[in-house]
Amino acid sequence: MSKNYKIALLPGDGIGPEIMQVGVAVLRAIAPQFEISFSFETALAGGAAIDETGHPLPAETLSLCQSSDAVLLAAVGGNKWDTLPSELRPEQALLGLRGGLGLFANLRPAKILPQLIDASSLKREIVEGVDILVVRELTGGIYFGKPKGIFTDEQGVRRGLNTMVYSEMEVDRIGRVAFEAARKRKGVLCSVDKANVLEVSQLWRDRITKMSQEYPDVTLSHMYVDNAAMQLLRWPKQFDTIVTGNLFGDILSDAAAMLTGSIGMLPSASLGEPGKPGLFEPVHGSAPDIAGRDLANPLAQVLSAAMMLRYGLNEGAAADRIEAAVMQVLDAGKRTGDIMAPGCEQLGCKAMGEALLAALA
Ligand code: IPM
Ligand code: MG
């Protein structure tokens, strides 16, 4: 009997709807090849939801996601909503989904594709062969810590306050995900913190070090975040799997992404407890400057759909098929503007989608 998966689609803003169309077309195309089927339901999130309902993450959207097998998101945000108070900005949709679905583990692979080495801003010998997985804690740390807010004291002085806090439980569960991921890769894990200054990092380091006793096959090292930022640019090949907290992971995953030349190529997975729906989305944003002009690169969205199959639905073979199709179109010299190179053929978003469908046929 063929398996049916209920997928919540959140196209969001900017280039979101265009790239989502390609992602869905690819999923539809591979489904019969693997005897699976999808029931897609689209919901509002981000700026689109603000315009329609006044809120970036309407309750119906969250409950649809909670009752789905997986959530595929494109991108949210845009200048139009940037002046709203922070609790009403499109980004709140992401934070609300992360919190509401308990998505504590964010996997952000940054793998340089041989076809795109020259798109990197770094020298070929530095980036060739780079294959890094950033495991970012996603529902704790300074993003969610309390107390938080802007307060006025008795002297009338305003202070902005956020709290960077991790419990042992939070460190342990992200540590577990990272050690397991490293074990399936090269068995090398670097934990990034700021333990020379922050107590929260000292606890982090302590727990990760303890856990390493359970993983004698994984080589663990620790690095301060400032050094990690530098090492990512200096010699990125020293890294295999990186585990870090929410804020450091936000910053380092962008840096790691850029090693590959275009953030337009990178997918991500956000996972919670086993059996609960995960959320899959490109690392890039909504790119309002090119929205609606058929210029966007849909490949990160397509690769996010592949991650959904692999990590969210346990359909690894179907994920392999999609990833192979992406490699095939790149091998054929097909490129969107962001990854264009001399001698290649430049395509728009739609045409790139059609090339993928042809590769999958
Ligand atoms: C990301 C983004 C988000 C974050 C923003 C948009 C809330 O930068 O997913 O990395 O900071 O986590
Ligand atoms: Mg970010």
Query: How far away, in angstroms, is 100 Cα from ligand 1 center?
Result: 16
Ligand nearest to the CA of 95: 1
Query: Is 116 part of any domain?
Result: no
Neighbours of 263 (CB within 10 A): 19
Q: Atom 12 of ligand 1 has which residue's CA nearest to it?
A: 250
Q: In the prediction, which pLDDT does 1 show?
A: 60
Q: Is there a single domain that holds both residue 275 and residue 149?
A: no
The secondary structure of 106-139, three-state, reads EEEEEECCHHHHHHCCCCHHHHCCCEEEEEEECC
80 classed as catalytic: no
Q: In the prediction, which pLDDT does 2 show?
A: 82
Query: Is 311 part of any domain?
Result: yes
Query: How far away, in angstroms, is 95 Cα from ligand 1 center?
Result: 8
Give me the helix-helix angle, 349-360 and 16-30, nearest 10°.
10
Query: Is 281 part of any domain?
Result: yes
Choose one of 240, 260, 280: the last residue of a domain: 260
Structural domain range at position 215:
121-260
Q: Which two tokens stand for residue 212?
A: 């390493």
Per-position DSSP letters for 143-155, written without gaps between them: GT-SS-EEEE-TT
Q: In the prediction, which pLDDT does 64 show?
A: 98
Q: In the prediction, which pLDDT does 264 show?
A: 82
Query: How far away, in angstroms, is 250 Cα from ligand 1 center?
Result: 6
Choose one of 206, 228, 260: the last residue of a domain: 260
Choose, from 51, 118, 206, 226, the residue flagged as catalytic. Answer: 226
Query: Is 45 part of any domain?
Result: yes
Q: Which atom of ligand 1 is nearest to the CA of 94?
A: 7
Query: How far away, in angstroms, is 206 Cα from ligand 2 center?
Result: 26
d(CA 323, CA 121): 24
Q: Atom 1 of ligand 1 has which residue's CA nearest to it?
A: 250
Q: Atom 2 of ligand 1 has which residue's CA nearest to it?
A: 250
Query: Is 26 part of any domain?
Result: yes
Query: How far away, in angstroms, is 138 Cα from ligand 1 center?
Result: 10
Q: In the prediction, which pLDDT does 120 show?
A: 86
d(CA 326, CA 235): 27
Choose one of 211, 228, 260: the last residue of a domain: 260
Q: Which atom of ligand 1 is nearest to the CA of 254?
A: 10
Query: How far away, in angstroms, is 358 Cα from ligand 2 center?
Result: 33
Query: Is 88 part of any domain?
Result: yes
Q: Does residue 91 have its Cβ closer than 6 Å to ligand 1?
A: yes
Ligand nearest to the CA of 247: 1
Q: Is there a single domain that holds both residue 313 and residue 339?
A: yes
Q: What is the DSSP letter of 246?
A: H
Give me the helix-helix angle, 16-30 and 316-331, nearest 10°.
120
Neighbours of 357 (CB within 10 A): 16
Greatest CA separation for the chain:
70
Q: How many domains does the chain have?
A: 2
Model confidence, pTM: 0.94
Per residue in 312-330, pLDDT (tens digit) is: 999 999 999 999 999 999 9
d(CA 19, CA 302): 8
Which residues lie near ion ligand 2 (Cβ < 5 Å)?
Answer: 250
240 classed as catalytic: no
Choose, from 143, 166, 215, 311, the residue flagged as catalytic. Answer: 143
254 classed as catalytic: yes
Query: Is 142 part of any domain?
Result: yes
Query: How far away, in angstroms, is 188 Cα from ligand 2 center?
Result: 24
Per residue in 88-132, pLDDT (tens digit) is: 999 999 999 999 999 999 999 999 999 899 888 899 999 999 999
pLDDT 10s digit of each residue in the chain, 361 long?
A: 689 999 999 999 999 999 999 999 999 999 999 999 999 999 999 999 999 999 999 999 999 999 999 999 999 999 999 999 988 999 999 999 999 999 999 999 999 999 899 888 899 999 999 999 999 999 999 999 999 999 999 999 999 999 999 999 999 999 999 999 999 999 999 999 999 999 999 999 999 999 999 999 999 999 999 999 999 999 999 999 999 999 999 999 999 998 987 788 999 999 999 999 999 999 999 999 999 999 999 999 999 999 999 999 999 999 999 999 999 999 999 999 999 989 999 999 999 999 999 999 9
d(CA 58, CA 48): 11
Q: Which atom of ligand 1 is nearest to the CA of 246?
A: 12
194 classed as catalytic: yes
Substitution site in 57, 94, 244 for ligand 1 pocket (most atoms within 8 Å of beta carbon): 94
Q: Which atom of ligand 1 is nearest to the CA of 106?
A: 9
Q: Which atom of ligand 1 is nearest to the CA of 253?
A: 10
Q: Which helix (H) or strand (E) holds 326?
A: helix 316-331
What is the domain-level CATH number for residue 226?
3.40.718.10
Integer CA distances (angstroms), 126 to 86, 121, 192, in order:
39, 10, 21
Q: In the prediction, which pLDDT does 251 show?
A: 96
**H helix intervals, 185-261:** 199-212, 225-234, 246-259
Question: What is the b/e burial string over 18-35, where b = at least 16 CB atoms within 10 angstroms of the residue's CB?
Answer: bbbbbbbbbbebbbeeee
Q: Is there a single domain that holds both residue 106 and residue 19?
A: yes
Q: Does residue 250 have its Cβ closer than 6 Å to ligand 1?
A: yes
Q: Which two tokens stand for residue 310?
A: 């692999």
8 Å CB contact between 279 and 65 = yes
